[in-house]
Amino acid sequence: MANSLENSLNEAVPNGTIIEKVNQVKTDVFDIAPGLSIKGLDELRVEALGKKGVITSILKSLKDVPADQRKEVGAAANLVRNEIEALLDSRKSELEIEELNAQLEAEKLDVTRPGTQIKTGTKHVLQQIQDQIEDLFVSQGYQVVYGNEIETDEYNFERMNLPKDHPARDMQDTFYINPELLLRTQTSAMQARMMDVHDFETGPLKMISPGVVYRRDDDDATHSHQFHQVEGLVVGKNVTMADLKGTLLSLFENLFGKGHAMRFRPSYFPFTEPSIEVDVSWNIVDDTTKPEDIKWIEVLGAGMVHPNVLSMSGIDPQKYSGFAFGLGPDRFAMIKYGIDDIRNFYLDDVRFLEQFRQVNE
């Protein structure tokens, strides 16, 4: 567009008067302006009205007009100048409004549209069970300790009365990092660690220890090579098997509600004497249920802490006694929610896990 006004002026009215010239510029500006963008209008304004603009230089030649006509010519020329300015202003604001409307249209928000649901995670069902168990025991004055998944042979086995050549080690073969370090096979490994440091003068030791354990087990519906356990240990004066039974009854009732039967079976663990295993009925039962209709699932091992285990921590078995249990929360979850295959918990299938979304999260 550069100099287009001046060229047009020189062509159309080469020897015109001031009035003819400003009118010619006005005609050109009115012709060109409607087709221009905001940027184009600004350029046209500079070309017409700027310091070095065509109209400005025409007005400078007013000094050559005879003095008696100068006022009238000047007024007429200024009028045209103002008309050009008004046109450019109004066209520019029209375009600005159009631009704003287009932007508003493009960025329109429909506040009545339903929102997009944001997917949030939820606590894994096994973590929920563990939390529930922890809450119950904390409310009964137990401390919660977690320990490490990589454990020493000493605390996982030897301090649990399982010396290196003990045949019961076969039941808990595991993944070894070196001959002294392994992936722990049982949360019982935390028993001796806690007995070593507890000051029995201050009162009994009451602890639970939840966590992940590993075994060289073949996976099936009730076994996984990686699973969870919660260890429980109470050592103090006059702790008896009846305390163990009462503790487990309150645990089962808290977790499953009423209607699940429980049974103790004699068992063997090198670190408890006597030892039991505890089964819970998978199904809801009552006095009319026939024994053969009860579906039992083993949920924990337990017993009275073996005197050797106490002695190895420097605790006098004549003065102190204790009970211990090691439960499998994975199996607790199976019973609580009627899940028939433990592997479901480890498959990361969101459709399965979503069922356990906690309402108040």
| Residue ranges in contact with ligand FA5 by CB under 6 A | 186, 188, 215, 217, 223-224, 227, 229, 269, 272, 298-303, 324-326, 328, 330-331, 342
- The per-residue DSSP string of 288-355 comes to TS-GGG--EEEEEEEEEEPHHHHHHTT--TTT-EEEEEEE-HHHHHHHHHT---GGGGGS--HHHHGG
- Most distant pair of Cα atoms in the chain: their distance: 134
User: In the complex, what is the shortest distance from the CB of residue 149 to ligand FA5, in angstroms, rounded to a whole number?
Assistant: 15
User: In the complex, what is the shortest distance from the CB of residue 219 to ligand FA5, in angstroms, rounded to a whole number?
Assistant: 8
User: In the complex, what is the shortest distance from the CB of residue 350 to ligand FA5, in angstroms, rounded to a whole number?
Assistant: 22
Closest alpha carbon to 325 in 224, 244, 228, 222: 244
Burial class (CB in 10 A: 0-12, 13-18, 19+), 102: exposed
Nearest residue to ligand FA5 on Cβ basis = 328
Nearer to ligand FA5, 73 or 227 (CB): 227
Nearer to ligand FA5, 23 or 188 (CB): 188
Q: Do 336 and 256 contact (CB within 8 A), yes or no?
A: yes
**Any idea what DSSP says for residue 176?**
E
User: In the complex, what is the shortest distance from the CB of residue 232 to ligand FA5, in angstroms, rounded to a whole number?
Assistant: 7
First to last CA, the chain: 66
Q: Do 207 and 145 contact (CB within 8 A), yes or no?
A: yes
User: In the complex, what is the shortest distance from the CB of residue 339 to ligand FA5, in angstroms, rounded to a whole number?
Assistant: 12
Q: How far apart are CA 274 and CA 279, in angstroms?
A: 17
User: In the complex, what is the shortest distance from the CB of residue 258 to ligand FA5, in angstroms, rounded to a whole number?
Assistant: 21
Nearer to ligand FA5, 269 or 356 (CB): 269
Nearer to ligand FA5, 24 or 272 (CB): 272
User: In the complex, what is the shortest distance from the CB of residue 344 to ligand FA5, in angstroms, rounded to a whole number?
Assistant: 13
Nearer to ligand FA5, 218 or 286 (CB): 218
Q: How far apart are CA 57 and CA 79, in angstroms?
A: 16
User: In the complex, what is the shortest distance from the CB of residue 132 to ligand FA5, in angstroms, rounded to a whole number?
Assistant: 16
At residue 180, the 3 state secondary structure works out as: coil
Nearer to ligand FA5, 21 or 306 (CB): 306
Nearer to ligand FA5, 210 or 301 (CB): 301
Nearer to ligand FA5, 155 or 227 (CB): 227
Q: Which amino acid is at 153?
A: D
Instruction: Report H helices in 107-185.
Output: 125-139, 153-156
Number of CB atoms found within 10 A of residue 349's CB: 10
